[in-house]
Amino acid sequence: MIGLALVHHPVRDGKGDTIASALTNIDVHDIARTTRTFGGERLYAVTPISAQQELVHRIRGHWLDGAGKERIPARAKAIERVFPAASLDEAIEDFGRLAGRAPRVWATAANPRGHETIAFAEARAVLAAEPTLLVFGTAHGLADEAIDRCSGLLAPIDGLSDEFNHLSVRSAVAIILDRLLGPR
């Protein structure tokens, strides 16, 4: 069983300071679709900001009960798995309740900042053994306190450029889920 946490706090800004980033409709919407495509059970939008949690409820309402449901009813299958969480710990606890036991929690990062990482092939080989929550950061990535809350860190996605590695979180989610769960 796989779940995702899209973390908006604690994340880093361009200077490395811990901040809360803004939740965006497009991230929630697109990552929900990718999560559902690869069989994910939950997507948590993690933010302590109540107005942003309310935005998640409004997005859900649009697609589950509102005009979006009438216009594109299939989209509800993805959005119904999206839930706000006030903290990463809340997301981990809720996913554990859903899974029936505490999940393995793996962080993702474009820059592991000295942390040991897990190769995709190794991660893929052990995914079926226990429920896993994959944690993705917004802004300039997860703050150290979020990475430290996880039991492992997936290897970064390596591109062809040595001097640039800053994908959108939507792109990173799609690539990582394909590498971990896609047919081979």
Q: What is the pLDDT of residue 167?
A: 87
Residue with more model confidence, 160 or 109: 109
Whether the pLDDT of residue 163 is over 90: the answer is: no
Domain count, the chain: 1
pLDDT in tens, 82-114: 999 999 999 999 999 999 999 999 999 988 888
* Residue 82: Cβ within 10 Å count: 24
Structure token digits, residue 123 = 């991660």
Task: Give the residue numbers spanning the domain of 170.
Answer: 2-181
Largest CA distance in the chain: 48
Helix (H) or strand (E) holding 181: helix 169-181
Cα gap 3→103, rounded to integer Å: 9
Structure token digits, residue 91 = 């997301």
Q: Looking at this protein, which amino acid is placed at residue 47?
A: T
**Domain harbouring 160, CATH code:** 3.40.1280.10
Q: How confident is the model at residue 29 (pLDDT cuts 50, 70, 90)?
A: very high
Which among 142, 146, 145, 141 has a CA at the least distance from the CA of 168? 141
Query: What's the whole-number average pLDDT of the chain?
Result: 94
